[in-house]
Amino acid sequence: MFGPTPTLKLAPGESIGEHLASQGVSRRDFLAFCRDTAIVLGLAEAAAPQVAHALETQKRPSVIWLELQECTGCVESITRSNDPTIGSLVLDLVSLDYSDTLMAAAGHQAEKGKDDAMKAGGYVLIVTGSVPLNEGGVYTMVAGRTAKEILEEAAKGAAAVIALGACAHWGSVQAAKPNPTGAVGVREIIKDKPVINIAGCPPVPDVITATVVHFLTFGKLPKADSEGRPLFAYGARIHDQCPRRGHFDAGQFVENFDDKGAREGWCLYQVGCKGPQTFSPCPIFMWNEKTSWPIGAGHPCIGCTEPHFWDTMAPFYKRLPDVGGWGIEQSVDRIGATLAGLTVAGVAAHATWTAVDKMRRKRELPVVTNPGAGPRPQPGGEA
């Protein structure tokens, strides 16, 4: 990722493919990465050569990464990689012309780097953090200017705008009631061009890698749902990809965090899991080299990829009301409309099987068997 190898740069005129070869990435590994990315993006495997050709011939795309009102968790998520993968190398190979956390430059030199990139135009603008509007925007100032001014200026010449993380979408925790800073997401400010939302608090790193590869391959951002989330990644619910789903279907629920069910990895619905109404690829991509994710660690999903997270998902440890019984898919439209504010069209789009789901099946997630002992408790019962 950007972090471990900040000095990794292409030589002038060098393509991404040439640079990967110079870094010891074998042709076989490179093509395997292109194939997997094509699948993740919802393309046929046959599209892999197109992805490979684009990456092999692309020159460095310029990236400006603004960090506005945020906690730096999104940057941490993207950079927490012990061993750089080919995907992270692709991200390394973008020309990161400005990033408050990751750039080596400081002060006027840093601002000049951003100005030069903006003058050249055609860059990818990544934004983490919300935009505070109260009190004239004084809650986030960089180089004497408000977050809103900085964002509006940087968005003007951007070829693509990527809002990275829940803060950049809907304000997240800063926008939680009573929202003292007047925090809003990027789409409240930038309305004259599409903004893709890499949702999550923080988002899954592989999703941004795939989004950048899509942009490099096709010169445009991937198809998105009504909330701006790329469908290749956010087309399926956590609940439909969850390794604990067998326990849900078997009526085996964790009731307390130290009970037998918790120790045995049962379903977390009764302790507040929002997986049934949350669209995200967390169970597929995970974090820390695909070793962990919230539910995998025994914590309920708190729905951090959903519209207006935080307020719409609080209280986190209270179970979803009236989700229904077995065959939970039947009620997703109602859940989406009433609790997450999704449009019917958005939900319909989500209901389609995606390439991510194909990956889920390819990974052969463990099948949890129902021991069949005793009557099954109803998930629609009292919490």
If you write DSSP's letter for every residue of 51-86 in order, what string do you get?
HHHHHHHPPPPEEEEEE-BS-SHHHHHHH--SS--H
Return the number of the residue (10 or 268) whose C-beta is nearest ligand SF4.
Answer: 268
Assign 196 to helix, strand or coil: strand
Q: Report the site for ligand F3S in 288-307 (rule: CB under 6 A).
A: 293-295, 301-305
Interaction between residue 360 and ligand SF4 (CB under 6 A)? no
282 binds, among ligand F3S, ligand SF4, none (CB under 5 to 8 A by kind): ligand F3S
Interaction between residue 207 and ligand F3S (CB under 6 A)? no
Interaction between residue 128 and ligand SF4 (CB under 6 A)? yes
Return the number of the residue (86 or 302) whose C-beta is nearest ligand SF4.
Answer: 302
Closest separation in Å from C-beta 109 to ligand F3S? 36
Residue from the set 114, 245, 308, 350 that interacts with ligand SF4 by CB under 6 A: 245
Interaction between residue 342 and ligand F3S (CB under 6 A)? no
323-332 own/partner pairs: CB under 8 Å, 24+ apart: 323/269, 323/276, 323/277, 323/379, 323/380, 324/379, 324/380, 325/378, 325/379, 325/380, 326/249, 328/239, 328/248, 328/276, 328/379, 329/240, 332/237, 332/276, 332/277
Residue 21-60 contact track with ligand SF4, rule CB under 6 A, x = bound: ----------------------------------------
Interaction between residue 238 and ligand F3S (CB under 6 A)? yes
CA distance 2 to 132: 27
CA distance 320 to 314: 10
Among candidates 178, 206, 160, which has minimal Cα distance to 64?
A: 160
Contact residues: ligand SF4, CB under 6 A: 70-71, 73-74, 128-129, 165-167, 172-173, 201-202, 238-239, 242, 244-245, 248, 267-269, 273, 275-276, 295, 301
